[in-house]
């Protein structure tokens, strides 16, 4: 009932509240935890709480002050969680090589003298080097931008300036570019097939149109996994395509169709084509059927009527379809993982590798944040476009 009273308002809220709560816990919160992983660096601050408290007073340029050194020694004396200590050493070593041996030696010295001040430079002269102290002080900051920087192939140098990683270490930009490239190629392929396909579907009637629409809807309804498996079977070395071409004598050796870029593009185009055809089809359907005859009556030959009337009007559908396809394509995981080779993995595969393969949550989170932001931006544009269409008529 359309009830705008206070009671009705409360009732409406009560109805949406369970889903809001559910999505807040199981959708929004996980995304927030992922984003937090991308910027959090909790080990140092948990392992060295006293150091963390005084690290902010040091300007990072002069010699490390006595309080800092003493706080660090006290922290080392207080630590009894061996796993935490191990994590902290690993964290320090990743910022500055040499910490593994340095910390081993320092811990022994601390254990030998459980009270009073220790001259650390005497224990190991590397402690005279400010870079090591800087690493300790920096590690106590619970937040970091290094994963986000690393995701874009940047890092902070010893003095804290942002600089590009050396070319041989910069894999992520290449993967981001590859992701965008594959997304673009798939989008273009979908548009090149989808636009004429939708036009054809609109131009015919009866069973022909039903057939064309059914051919789009059937794959859409079919499991993504099944479709990918089907392409696996078709594209493999002894697959149907190679067999057919060989038996026709068109090729003498099997074409490399699987575990490469071509296979990924073919399979993804097949998977995403419906998302291109359906928006264009619905736009074309809304175009009055007498526009083309009208253009003809005004003296336009068919091809000019097409270019000046039908194409501009269908462009809206092409744009929404393209956004939809591109947005979905850049987040794809299953198809490249199964059909592609090592050189065809997209950003999702890399995220999955960091998360599942090497438990590097920071990097997984940082790359995930980039993909999330890109997808949401594309979705916002898409939403704006379809809102315009709904309101603009």
Query: Considering only residues 254-273, where is the footprint of another protein by CB under 8 A?
Result: 270, 273
Using CB under 8 A, pick the residue from 130, 215, 245, 313 that binds another protein.
Answer: 215
- From the CB of 280, what's the least distance to another protein, in Å? 13
Using CB under 8 A, pick the residue from 109, 188, 246, 352 that binds another protein.
Answer: 352
Which residues, including other chains, have CB under 8 Å from residue 199's CB and lie 6 or more apart?
280, 284, 310, 314
Is 280 a binder of another protein (CB under 8 A)? no
Which residue lies nearer to another protein by CB, 136 or 350? 350
Of residues 322-341, those binding another protein (CB under 8 A)? 327, 330-331, 333-334, 337-338
Is 355 a binder of another protein (CB under 8 A)? yes
Of residues 222-241, those binding another protein (CB under 8 A)? 222-234, 236, 238-240
Which residue lies nearer to another protein by CB, 23 or 169? 23
Is 192 a binder of another protein (CB under 8 A)? no
Is 99 a binder of another protein (CB under 8 A)? no
Stretch that binds another protein, among 28-36, 61-69, 167-175, 252-260 (CB under 8 A): 28-36
Stretch that binds another protein, among 56-64, 88-96, 189-197, 290-298 (CB under 8 A): 189-197
Using CB under 8 A, pick the residue from 251, 311, 315, 376 that binds another protein.
Answer: 376
Using CB under 8 A, pick the residue from 219, 260, 261, 389 that binds another protein.
Answer: 219
Stretch that binds another protein, among 45-53, 163-171, 309-317, 356-364 (CB under 8 A): 356-364
Using CB under 8 A, pick the residue from 372, 381, 386, 389 that binds another protein.
Answer: 372
Neighbour count for residue 288 (Cβ, 10 Å): 9
Is 196 a binder of another protein (CB under 8 A)? yes
Is 16 a binder of another protein (CB under 8 A)? yes
Whole-Å CA distances, 121 to 91, 127, 133, 377, 387: 22, 5, 12, 52, 67
- From the CB of 335, what's the least distance to another protein, in Å? 11
Is 102 a binder of another protein (CB under 8 A)? no
- From the CB of 80, what's the least distance to another protein, in Å? 24
Single out the residue of 283, 276, 360 nearest to residue 324, CA to CA.
Answer: 276
Is 182 a binder of another protein (CB under 8 A)? no
Stretch that binds another protein, among 73-81, 104-112, 166-174, 360-368 (CB under 8 A): 360-368
Which residue lies nearer to another protein by CB, 45 or 236? 236
Binding mask 119-138 for another protein (x = CB under 8 A): --------------------
């Amino acid at each position: 009932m359309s009830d705008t009273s206070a009671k009705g308002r409360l009732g409406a809220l009560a109805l949406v509240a369970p889903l809001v709560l559910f999505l807040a816990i199981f959708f929004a919160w996980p995304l927030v935890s992922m984003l937090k992983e991308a910027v959090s660096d909790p080990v140092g601050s948990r392992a060295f709480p006293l150091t963390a408290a005084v690290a902010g007073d040091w300007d990072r340029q002069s010699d490390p002050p006595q309080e800092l050194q003493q706080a660090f020694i006290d922290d080392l004396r207080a630590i009894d969680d061996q796993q935490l200590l191990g994590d902290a050493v690993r964290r320090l070593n990743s910022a500055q090589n040499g910490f593994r041996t340095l910390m081993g030696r320092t811990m022994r010295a601390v254990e030998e003298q459980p009270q009073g001040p220790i001259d650390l430079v005497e224990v190991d002269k590397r402690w005279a080097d400010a870079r090591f102290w800087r690493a300790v002080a920096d590690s106590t900051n619970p937040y970091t931008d290094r994963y986000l920087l690393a995701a874009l192939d940047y890092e902070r140098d010893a003095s804290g300036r942002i600089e590009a990683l050396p070319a041989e270490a910069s894999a992520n930009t290449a993967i981001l570019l590859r992701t965008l490239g594959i997304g673009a190629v798939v989008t273009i392929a979908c548009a090149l097939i989808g636009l004429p396909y939708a036009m054809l579907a609109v131009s015919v009637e009866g069973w022909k149109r039903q057939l064309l629409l059914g051919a789009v809807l059937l794959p859409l309804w079919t499991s993504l996994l099944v479709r990918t498996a089907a392409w696996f079977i078709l594209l493999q070395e002894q697959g149907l395509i190679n067999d057919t071409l060989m038996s026709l004598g068109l090729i003498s050796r099997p074409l490399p169709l699987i575990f490469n870029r071509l296979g990924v593009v073919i399979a993804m185009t097949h998977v995403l084509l419906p998302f291109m055809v359906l928006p264009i089809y619905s736009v074309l359907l809304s175009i009055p059927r007498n526009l083309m005859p009208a253009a003809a009556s005004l003296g336009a030959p068919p091809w000019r009527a097409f270019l000046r009337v039908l194409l501009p009007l269908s462009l809206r559908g092409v744009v929404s379809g393209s956004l939809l396809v591109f947005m979905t394509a850049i987040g794809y995981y299953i198809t490249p993982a199964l059909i592609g080779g090592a050189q065809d993995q997209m950003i999702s595969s890399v995220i999955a590798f960091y998360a599942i393969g090497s438990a590097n949550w920071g990097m997984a989170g940082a790359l995930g944040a980039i993909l999330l932001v890109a997808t949401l931006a594309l979705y916002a544009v898409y939403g704006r476009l379809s809102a315009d269409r709904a309101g603009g008529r």
